[in-house]
Structure 1
């Protein structure tokens, strides 16, 4: 049964509708050295879904308060704005892309980390969407709060500008050394423990997240879990299929 609106309000999140045929894309890590998602979406003008949900880390390095991170990504930014004129686009911020309201304005619905999980309804079920960078310890919570602090951002941006973009350049080099494709040992057990904790905080039927790049789905009694494929790794995404039996998350390969 779909939970009552009152229960949703206790978590301060808005209930939206997840549409049949929606695309869920996560962890594309777009950059001038990784244009796979741009190449894919730029060829889909006549074949767009009714709803495009971007699940975070779509960009490898995009901070709304860091001008030097914006200019290299303008081509992709403009493409997403163009797509948003044709279909509904919802963008959940990740740990590589945040502060996006200043970049996209009202053209795209931006869901910051503080407003995640985003609850959506489909077939009388509740789907909770989150980028996935949660429950990673107090150290990570302090770090992620600091890098989103506007005063700290101003100081860093001033230093970055005075040093001709050295900070952004260093972050880019650091990110390029990372390998997006990897396997996490005992991930099913990790997910089971995560859901036990999440069930105590939120009411949901499906939990969907990216961040971990594992591309797996599990059933835990009445709860279903989906970790999205990393587009940067396998150039694939998820298509939502609604049926009488429930909600299916179908992997589809992206190609220009």
Structure 2
């Protein structure tokens, strides 16, 4: 999948929107109010702390954000890379280019650069890949939703996620970034979320960009030929 990346594109990752992490709502409202004017909006996964099209509880819980993204997608090109907390999204966002994990990385062009982009939870061991298939299985999710009386399953998931600590700094980001670059053999630039670092690393004219976590760093990225962090 090849797209052209435009200057003044904005990248948002890992906002993990929930009752504890409200930053995404503030960010989207800034776009609605024309205080931020992106040419493209890349949602890099884990935008919600949890959501899937099968979960009635989490759809209702997040309906304001869903509606805001859909409203923005009428006027802005929105690309949504599904993460490990948000998947099976296509019916929720009909005007958005939704990219499933199995379709990642996607490839973009900017001038002579080939850019590879994913949420970040790819090139992983077989057991994680199996886990991903299981948790995204539509019949299973529909069944779980059907027995989610009084939302007891959904609320248990929600409470567990609210207790998680997700903001940590890697001790050796450069070594990690080298390994990630090696996974994307033919790309000049690699863009990922997932790891919550908000850092960049270059080697042999190749660039690795880890988009900051909106909830951890209170920051998103703007692309104007270079990737620049911007505080919310």
> TM-score range with shorter-chain normalisation?
over 0.9
Between the aligned partners of 2:126 and 2:201, the Cα distance in structure 1 is 27
Per the alignment, residue 56 of structure 1 pairs with 45
Q: How does 1:88-103 map to 2 (within 5 A)?
A: 88-103=77-92
Give me the whole-angstrom Cα distance separating, in 2, the residues matched to 1:231 and 1:39: 11
What's the TM-score once normalised by structure 1's chain length?
0.86
Given candidates 102, 105, 110, the residue that maps to 2:98 is 110
Matched position secondary structure for 1:144: helix
Moved over 6 A (4+): none
1:250 aligned to which of 224, 228, 231: 228
Larger Rg: 1
**Counterpart Cα distance in 1 of 2:105 and 2:124:** 15
| Structure 1 residue runs without a partner (length 5+) | 1-13, 243-247
Q: Partner of 2:18 in structure 1?
A: 31
Deviation track 1:3-45 (CA, whole Å, cap 9, x = no partner) reads xxxxxxxxxxx11010000000000111233221111221332
Residue among 211, 217, 231 paired with 2:214: 231
Q: Aligned equivalents of 1:76 and 1:37: distance in 2?
A: 8
Out of 196, 217, 221, the position equivalent to 2:182 is 196
- Residues 116 and 184 in structure 2, CA contact (< 8 A), matched pair in contact too: no
CA distance in 2, matches of 1:239, 1:151: 39
User: Deviation of residue 188 (structure 1)?
Assistant: 1.8
Kept in 2: contact 1:21–1:240 (CA 8 A): yes
- In 2, the alpha carbon distance for the partners of 1:43 and 1:252 equals 13
Question: 5+ residue gaps in structure 2?
Answer: none
Query: Does 2:135 align with 1:127?
Result: no
Cα deviation for residue 130 of structure 1 reads: 0.4
User: How many residues in Structure 1 have an aligned counterpart in Structure 2?
Assistant: 230
Query: Is residue 22 of structure 1 aligned with residue 9 of structure 2?
Result: yes
User: TM-score w.r.t. structure 2 length?
Assistant: 0.95
The secondary structure found in structure 2 opposite 1:238 is strand
Is the 1:48–1:87 contact (alpha carbons within 8 Å) kept by the matching residues of 2?
Answer: no
CA contact (8 A) 2:53 2:88 kept: yes
- Alignment counterpart, residue 139 of structure 2, candidates 137, 146, 151: 151
Q: Distance in 2 between matches of 1:167 and 1:249?
A: 40
8 Å Cα contact 1:37/1:235 also seen in 2: no
Q: Is residue 50–residue 87 contact of structure 1 (8 Å, CA) maintained in 2?
A: yes
Q: What value does the CA root-mean-square deviation take over the aligned residues?
A: 1.3
Q: Check conservation: 1:94, 1:131, Cα contact below 8 A.
A: yes
Secondary structure in 2 matching 1:207: strand
Per-residue CA shift, 1:69-113, capped at 9, x if unaligned?
2110000000111111121111111111111102112x1111111
